[in-house]
Structure 1
Amino acid sequence: MLYLKNLHYHPAASTTPILKNINLELAPQQMGLIIGRSGSGKTTLLEILAGLAECSKGEICWRDQKLTSEHLQQLGGLVFQFPERHFCGATILEELRLGHPEIRPEQISSALEEVGLQDLLLSTSPHALSGGQQRRLALAVQLIRQPHLLMLDEPTAGLDWSMRKQLVNLLAKLKNHWSLLVVTHDSSDLLPIADKCWTLNKGNLECRI
């Protein structure tokens, strides 16, 4: 179970807090959906949960353990908005092995099968894939790390309706094994598979379901 308790984020360069008194609970094998406009603090919240930024005050706990930024980097896997822009490997294999030179072939096969890319040649360039396949590869990159919490920032952005549908179906399958936390400004495709839903507006989080 993920707990956020009275989480605040107020960087020194900002005159007002970006996140205010955030409280959230998310159980294993649940998908949480946070809906908010651009600038509402959605991405900042994910960056804090991924250990890329530190909250000003409050607690982040997994089960009964209070987490530091180092713990959070191990706990969660973050798929950024438009993750294909961040691909560094010349091939699918290189992309999956970045930071994991010791990874075994069966781990690679398992991650690709989990996201439905098991039939692709490992020598294929990530940039030769379709938009939907690139999002799936970005998910596989995070699954290699075996996170407890999988986080996605605007996962359907820029995809056509058929690719969005495929990605939503994949997320519905993945939540059988992982806790998912998804942030978006457009909830139409994702709301039907969400177990919990919140709105984030000007740094304030309110529960919807």
Structure 2
Amino acid sequence: MLELSEVTYAPATVASPILRGASFYAEKGCPLLIAGSSGSGKTSLLEVISGLSSVQSGSIFWQGNAMSRRQRRELCGMVFQFPERHFLGLSVSQELRLGHRRLESEREDRVLQNVGLQNIPRNTAPELLSGGQQRRLALAVQLLRGAEVLLLDEPTAGLDWSIRTDVLNLLSDLAQNQVLIVVTHEPELFNCWESRRLLLQDGRLTQMTTLP
């Protein structure tokens, strides 16, 4: 289980804290959906959890143990809103193998099967994939890293309705084995999703009982 306890985040470039005493938990088996308007701090929240940014105060725990920023970077895998902007490999296979001295083909096959890319030619350039396939490839990269916590920033952004449904189904399946946290400014797109839901507003997290 991942737990945030009274986390405050206040970068020097802003006048007031972006996060004010954020506290919640997330666990395997039930994805956590965090909704908030554009500019509410959703991406900053994921960056803090993933260790890309430092907390001003408060703690982040994994399985009851406080985690350092470095430990969070190892534990978490972040999929950005437009993951194609962060691809570095010239092919699907190269993208998957970046950062690995040795990657067993069986493990690569298994991960691609898990994200539904088993039929994609490995020499395909990432920019030639559809939007949904690019989301899947970004997830595969994080799974190969061994990320136990998946953090997704607007995973349905720019996708048409049919692809959105496929991506949401995939994420629901992945949540059975990974802690999964999704942030979005369009919570209505997740009406069919079984999840816990929080609202981020004015730097504070509150329970969201119904979707707008």
Structure 1-normalised TM-score?
A: 0.97
Give, in whole Å, the separation in 2 of the partners of 1:12 and 1:132: 36
Identity over the aligned pairs, expressed in percent?
Answer: 44
Tell me the SS of whatever aligns to 2:117: coil
Structure-1 residue corresponding to 2:78: 78
Cα displacement (A) at 1:150: 0.6
Cα displacement (A) at 1:2: 1.0
Tell me the SS of whatever aligns to 1:72: helix
Runs of 4+ more than 6 Å apart: none
Structure 1 residues 11-160: aligned runs within 5 Å: 11-160=11-160
CA contact (8 A) 1:32 1:182 kept: yes
Structure-2 residue corresponding to 1:172: 172
Runs of 5+ unmatched residues, structure 2: none
1:202 aligns with 2:202: yes
Give, in whole Å, the separation in 1 of the partners of 2:153 and 2:48: 13
Give, in whole Å, the separation in 2 of the partners of 1:90 and 1:28: 33
Letter in 1 for 2:175: K
Cα displacement (A) at 1:179: 1.1
- Summarize the Cα distance change of 1:194–1:57 in structure 2 as closer, same or farther, 3 Å threshold: farther
Cα RMSD for the two superposed structures = 1.0
For residues 163-183 of structure 1, what are the alpha-carbon distances to aligned partners after superposition, in whole Å with 9 as ceiling and x for unaligned?
Answer: 101101111111111110000
Tell me the SS of whatever aligns to 2:189: coil
Letter in 1 for 2:153: D
Structure-2 residue corresponding to 1:163: 163
Number of positions where the alignment pairs a residue of Structure 1 with one of Structure 2: 209
Runs of 5+ unmatched residues, structure 1: none
Cα displacement (A) at 1:109: 0.6
Cα displacement (A) at 1:101: 2.7
Letter in 2 for 1:7: V
Tell me the SS of whatever aligns to 1:182: strand
Give, in whole Å, the separation in 2 of the partners of 1:27 and 1:157: 24
